[in-house]
Amino acid sequence: MVGGPLTSGRRARQFPGQSARLREAAMLISDVLRTKGHKVVRIHPADSVELAVRKLAEHRIGALVVEDRWMKPVGIFSERDFINAMARDGAAVLGFEVQHLMSTPMLSCRSSDRVDAMLARMTIARVRHLPVIEDNDLKGIVSIGDLVKHRLDAKELEASVLLDLSRIRA
C-alpha cells in the first residue's frame, strides 16, 4: 500500500511558503539558550568530588561540564554520577577526583538541533544534560527539564492564541 495505512497514497498538498513556515515553527536548542542563558558551571578532572558536589548545590544545578586544562569539554559530572558512586563506595567518594566518576564519552548537541530530536536522543541515551557545542566552543548546556519547559511554554502560547482567535470569531 502506497503511503502507509493511514494515508490515501496521495501526497499532501503543498502551499507556497509552507515548508519555510514549518522550519520557522521548529523549536531549536538556540531558542532554549536564548531564554535560559549560556552560563555553564565547569570543573576540572583533578578537582575533588566534594568540590563538585558543593558547586552543584551552590548553583542549584544537576550537572557540571568537566574541562581539561585547555578548556576542552571532556565529560559531565552529574548528580546521578555522585549518587551511583555513593551507593557503591560510600562517603569515601567525596575524596575521589571528578575524573573517576564523570560520564564519558560526552554526548552533546548544536544550537541548530531541534528540541524534539534532542529530547528523543536524551531519552534513548538515558542522560539528563547536553552541552551545546559549536565549532569546538562550549556555548551552553541544556537539561531535559529545560527542553520540556520550553515545549510546554510554546504549547501554552499556542493554546492562548487559539483561544483568542476563537473569541474573535465567536
Tens digits of residue pLDDT in 40-56: 999 999 999 999 999 99
- Confidence check: pLDDT of 84 > 50: yes
Average pLDDT over residues 53-71: 96
Q: Tally the C-alpha atoms within 13 A of residue 143's C-alpha that lie toward its C-beta.
A: 15
Average model confidence (pLDDT) across the chain: 85
Query: Which has more confidence, 1 or 131?
Result: 131
DSSP of 6-61: TS-SSPPPP-TTHHHHHHHHS-BHHHHHHHH-----EE-TTSBHHHHHHHHHHHT-
Does 22 have pLDDT greater than 60? no
Residue 8 pLDDT greater than 60, yes or no: no
Three-state DSSP at 74 gives strand
Which of 75-84, 86-95, 158-167 is the least confident region? 158-167
114-141 per-position pLDDT tens digit:
999 999 999 999 999 999 999 888 999 9
pLDDT at 9 over 60: no
Given a cut of 80, is residue 170 above it in pLDDT? Answer: no
So where are the chain's domains?
28-169
Query: What type of residue sits at position 144?
Result: I
**What is the pTM (predicted TM-score) of this model?**
0.75
Which position has the grid cell 552543584? 56
Is the pLDDT reported for residue 10 higher than 90? no
Give the per-residue pLDDT at 5. Answer: 39
Q: Which CATH number fits domain 28-169: 3.40.50.720, 3.10.580.10, 3.10.129.10, 3.40.50.620?
A: 3.10.580.10
